[in-house]
Chains A and B, each alone.
Chain A
């Protein structure tokens, strides 16, 4: 189990043989002389040896080329002793052989120089010693070799060796999966060698379909262990992953802040699709989201976000074509492969993880006026004209004089406390292993009433007997998610501070004010300002409950030495129930008929998924070659069904029981949908490595899907990759021994993006609500496009891996080009065609990027456990559209009409911000001066003059990290940097300038009062204070609100302390192996060049977390 659990033992010996140019055989040593039966005529000596190889359990050491030149031999042995057979075979041939320590060394006697002769051996320098691993366990079959020669030997079962070299030289001791060590030898020596596992060999790339030694893998992939994730934070996998890999980006969601129930948008190496509402499917899947694979099977972002971080063994991000093409039609956005911990044999072990987290809402980003400021602002805006205006002004002034200055923002928030517990039990023997995990996490959000409870149970069983290996993993999981009864945070931000929170008697009033807003309300009704505290006090439900079940069964049989069959079956079933209830007393129902006050809705969603696969693997090693091939076929089916209903008209005291509803929602009927897709795929993989230096990866996948157009139900994907392990070149080994890894790799291939939309090449009809004498009828809801082809992404990747001084300094650099051609864009047709948002293939998106990860450990003292490392990683990404020409004319026009900042024009970035250029506020008039495309200044706003005024994609983004380990104490810090991106500050437009009569009933940004233009000559960033009544008064989207957003975020700080049985008495007394404490600070600060309101409907939070881990 030294090699990391994924490493296939079958491939181990591959390291030894090719490096020494020696043929080897099975690993088990033999003490007694074996008997041999062999009949061979006129064969070369190597052939004889390889035949012999099959009968005796010995290690063979010989040089193929050297021995092939010798005359052919014949053998006729029947159950003879090995010694006798050898003597017979080599009789008359100029060969010298030696049998010692389970190693048979055969040499040609002719070759002089390097080969020790008896006389030379007399002068030889004798070396003996033992080789062990870092735990002190002896290593059998470790190679001991003289540098620059083919001279070598192996250790015996006790890890001992005896060796001699003819003259002073350098000795290299190596073992599979261990870091080789060198020794200068000039006199007879006794060596005590302790080898450490190498990073390189431990790193097996888990692609979810096959596992590959990193050395032979040509794709761009990054693997992180569960421990590495846990160092960043104990919240969720996604949050941790973003700090570790530059290509994995969580797009900041300004609207939803730190809401525990909202899933983040995730990008791996940018985007590939035009994200447009018309393309999103029913569940709003983001078309730019990567594919998630959990223990070999596809899963959803929801499941990953809820996954207990303590269960993670490793996460691998597959980025380029060579690593993702095996996922074909869904892989264009990258693949995230998650492996959970598998039970390890041994005596019963128990471990406990406790995670605790405190979330403190960050209200410092809201820059709102206090009550006297707001009143003054309203006065300046002219809200108090006439007699009634005076009255109102005086009334509010009296309030303020009495000390009313309500801070509403603090009302809906709380310090959220999260606690999570997770228990593992594992044990078993080589034949039968088991593992049980139970986890529960209760999250309380930063807004009152919002929270998320997740739980899960997993039972793992493994059975291994002979050639058969069976494993089964059963997962049961679920969550309950509650949204806050305090509603949207923006309601609270917008509450005027001059209102009292409660009436004089301390009771919560329903309305705090009625304001006459004049013609802005179409019914000339006064605006009733509801007290959000009142609404929050009413019965309220916004809850999702989920229950899921997943079973993975996998089996493999090693048919022969080369062939293996794998098969697996996964079943998954999930139910989610969403319930929404709003009380009849809610102020939204002020003008509603009594039979329609209050609302209730419920949606049930269920999913059934199965996947089955069978795979044939062929692995063979001969001479310097190693070859692995896989053929795999997969079928899968996913069915989702939803059914929903809604009702209205509730009694005032109802707490949400639909039985008390007066009626169904007017015109409402049960909603229902069934979505089913099937996929079948066939994968062929080939990995070839020559001499551990050159490697080639070829992937071919045929993907068939029921959601493709009929004309192209099956699509092929492929990739080819090549790698060059320069560090395995002799000249590097001999001359630059400090280079541990130096590898160049490149790949090219295709993948597609099937993650969105469910297009059809055929027309689709749906039932119309309603009936006539002929019964029901159907109408066209989708016009098929038989010509539509899927978005295919072609990727080129070039990468370099470098590690020096035993991985003390490492660097990984990847550069890529990612072209998606053609894109699928739903275009708007003239309405007379009857077709709405018709998807067509048009244009392309070209992306380019560079990712860098550098790590250094200037202090690396394992013996005293003092380690200091620093790291920096970053990504640069650029994308642009091309080939649209003028096809998206109507879409661009629509974007302009909808005040969107996005446009689709050739040569421009998908994240470009489009707005009219502004020269700022005219100091003379206080009006905004716009700059037309031709550079002319004007007072007239024309949306058609919009140009690119910024780009929301940062030029570079990444993290800087450092970690220190001193004895039992550890410290880690990660700071995110982002620079070169722009942000459109919508809050400035909404809360500083565009304030209408109705908006005056809400509180506004301080800058609206202090920083606006007042009199001619003022140089100000904002227009004069004025109530917006007409379109002319309005401020429009211009470059004035585009700001450069360079920022630094304190993403993670971690302090850890570990107690081990070996060095702490009370741990041993408690029966523990180890006890570990961790303290985390997440998102603790944010330095930004933009002063911006963040967290529109839900505030952001700073978190402090603590975790405890006990191993028994």
Chain B
């Protein structure tokens, strides 16, 4: 009998240990998080959303390729083809040799990184959508809205870069569109279908963000914020105005002038209460507001932005790495108007190192005060909305008022002849968004057959669609069977 008792005891304890084993096996990683851990509370879900913003600061994303380097090189914002003695490392981009190592590399990194950010946004949208109860309705809407804006923003830039020249060809295949995480590649879609999806995303975002506090309380002042009380800095995340501005940008790219005007003028009406053009006087202080912080609709808090200055624009760089515009071209871009506050203090002839002006927009502010704007990188600004309104207004005279508002804010006299409006707007894109990555897309949108070269001497480059369309990278095409 004794032996049976023993064995029953032992078997029993085995059974118990085995039923407890499921709990035993359920361990969580210590140096990473399972998605179930991320979407168990609002504060954790916020870190996943914040992850997308942090990704945007990366050199492969808005912290570099999509704002400062790649797209600006394609837009001829820097002179990389006339350097004497040494060949500039980015020279093939200035001459649109898309098969070159450098161009392939840029395309590859930008594409892969952007789609990876989209994957993050997609998973966030899916998982947060299923975890509504971890947060309040208001915060849920805000978080969802942001994710939709960010996704649309990435798609719009990918479409503008890799898609066809939309104004002449909106049905050619462009890029794939993923609205959710999937392990299968979705087909590459015609450009207009991707555009439809972008607009739809932005409409959804606007819906989610309709109660965004930015619409009532308005953004707080970035210019003097010391980073202590940052609660109200709504411009440093995707907000309602961002959704509207992106929609205006997308509609214009689509060629839908009527709606683009409606969107942009409405936005201007609504947000002008909160956002003001930066006054020229703010630029001539010890801590010049080179990023025009008061008019930022959406900016990125990029801790590494001043490092980009060291990496690309610093006069201490060797010639083959230095990105700048030669003096005579600069005069040309700014129409010889030395009063333009975008010229000074952003373009200065350095005292040492180089004999040409260097681009100081992203130089680290030397200040003992912990200013937030030291780290802010503008992504969308009020001036762009004015330019959209100016371009899309049915009446050129109305358009002129929008254009002149920008010019005046920059310390330049307005234009008086509506016939000059189109040229003026294009020139504005050249002056206004250096290092903000809009010029190449503007040329492409307008399908300009001839554009100003970045080379000094006022030469022009003739453009055709093959130069405007960046081929899809190998990592995409090779794996498509």
Contact = CB atoms under 8 A, between A and B. Distances in A.
Interface of A: 559-560, 562-563, 565, 614, 616, 618, 631, 633, 635, 672-674, 676-680, 682, 702, 704-706, 713-714, 760, 762-766, 768, 770-781, 783-785, 828-835, 838, 840, 886, 889-890, 893-894, 897
Highest count of chain A CB atoms <10 Å: which of B3, B25, B30, B480: B25
A565 B481 contact: no
B26 interface: yes
A636 to B, nearest CB: 10
B46 interface: yes
Given A772-B53, A831-B108, 17 more contacts: A559-B2, A560-B6, A678-B25, A760-B34, A765-B48, A768-B51, A772-B375, A773-B230, A774-B53, A776-B54, A777-B51, A777-B55, A778-B33, A830-B480, A832-B186, A838-B183, A893-B478
A834 B303 contact: no
A884 to B, nearest CB: 13
Interface in B464-481: 473, 475-481
Contacts of A770: 54, 57, 303-304
Contact of A563 (B3, B55, B182): B3
B33 A765 contact: yes
A484 to B, nearest CB: 34
Given A616-B10, A777-B48, A833-B178, A672 B34 contact: no
18 contacts: A635-B21, A674-B29, A704-B21, A704-B22, A762-B35, A762-B36, A765-B33, A765-B51, A768-B54, A768-B55, A772-B54, A773-B372, A776-B47, A830-B479, A834-B117, A889-B479, A890-B478, A890-B481
A706 B25 contact: yes
Contacts of B93: none
Interface stretch (B118-126, B128-136, B164-172, B391-399): B118-126
A704 B473 CA distance: 42
Nearest to A557: B6
Nearest to A681: B21
Interface in B402-440: none
Contacts of B372: 773
B38 interface: yes
A763 B33 CA distance: 8
A565 B36 CA distance: 41
Nearest to A779: B51
Contacts of A679: 25
A340 to B, nearest CB: 29
A899 to B, nearest CB: 15
Contact of B17 (A559, A633, A678, A766): A633
A967 B175 CA distance: 83
Nearest to A673: B31
B178 to A, nearest CB: 7
Contact of A779 (B18, B120, B182, B477): B120
Contacts of A838: 183
B32 A764 contact: yes
Interface in B97-129: 108, 111-112, 115-120, 123
A840 B237 CA distance: 37
A762 B111 CA distance: 25
Contacts of B38: 765, 778
Contact of A834 (B18, B36, B116): B116
Interface of B: 2-3, 6-7, 10-11, 13-14, 17-18, 21-22, 24-27, 29-38, 46-55, 57, 108, 111-112, 115-120, 123, 175-176, 178, 181-186, 227, 230, 233, 236-237, 300-304, 372, 375, 473, 475-481
B120 A771 contact: no
Contact of A829 (B46, B48, B183, B303): B183
A781 B185 CA distance: 19
Contacts of B304: 770
Contact of B34 (A635, A762, A830, A832): A762
A633 B108 CA distance: 51
Highest count of chain B CB atoms <10 Å: which of A775, A781, A834, A889: A834
A898 to B, nearest CB: 12
Contacts of B375: 772
A-B residue pairs, 10 tightest by C-beta: A834-B119, A777-B51, A777-B50, A680-B21, A763-B35, A890-B479, A831-B475, A772-B301, A674-B30, A560-B3
A144 B133 CA distance: 83
Given A563-B7, A764-B35, A765-B33, A830 B476 contact: yes
A542 to B, nearest CB: 27
A29 B375 CA distance: 94
B233 A773 contact: yes
Given A633-B17, A772-B301, A772-B303, A834 B118 contact: yes
Contacts of A772: 50, 53-54, 57, 236, 300-303, 375
Given A674-B29, A676-B27, A778-B33, A773 B236 contact: yes
B34 A778 contact: no
A713 B21 CA distance: 10
Contacts of B123: 763, 780, 783
B31 A672 contact: yes
Contacts of B18: 633, 680, 682, 702
A832 B54 contact: no
Contacts of B3: 559-560, 562-563
Contacts of B17: 633, 635, 680
Contacts of A618: 7
A838 B47 CA distance: 24
Contacts of A705: 25
Contacts of A834: 115-120, 178, 181
Nearest to B123: A780
A129 to B, nearest CB: 41
Contacts of A835: 119, 183
B129 to A, nearest CB: 15
Contacts of A776: 47, 50, 54
A894 B478 contact: yes
Highest count of chain A CB atoms <10 Å: which of B112, B372, B478: B478
Contacts of A831: 108, 111-112, 115, 473, 475-476, 479
Contacts of A828: 475, 479
A1081 B145 CA distance: 75
Contacts of B55: 768, 777, 779
Contacts of B52: 777, 779
Given A772-B54, A777-B50, A832 B175 contact: yes
A1111 B168 CA distance: 94
Contacts of A766: 31-33
Contacts of B34: 760, 762-765
A612 to B, nearest CB: 10
Contacts of B182: 833
A778 B29 contact: no
A705 B118 CA distance: 33
Contacts of B14: 614, 616, 631, 633, 682
B53 A771 contact: no
B104 to A, nearest CB: 13
A347 to B, nearest CB: 38
B185 A563 contact: no
Nearest to A828: B479
A676 B29 CA distance: 7
Contacts of B115: 831-834
A859 B265 CA distance: 106
A635 B26 CA distance: 13
A777 B6 CA distance: 55
Contacts of B184: 833
B111 A783 contact: no
A832 B111 contact: yes
B185 A829 contact: yes
A706 B25 CA distance: 5
Highest count of chain B CB atoms <10 Å: which of A559, A768, A777: A777
Nearest to B124: A780
B10 A833 contact: no
A680 B48 contact: no
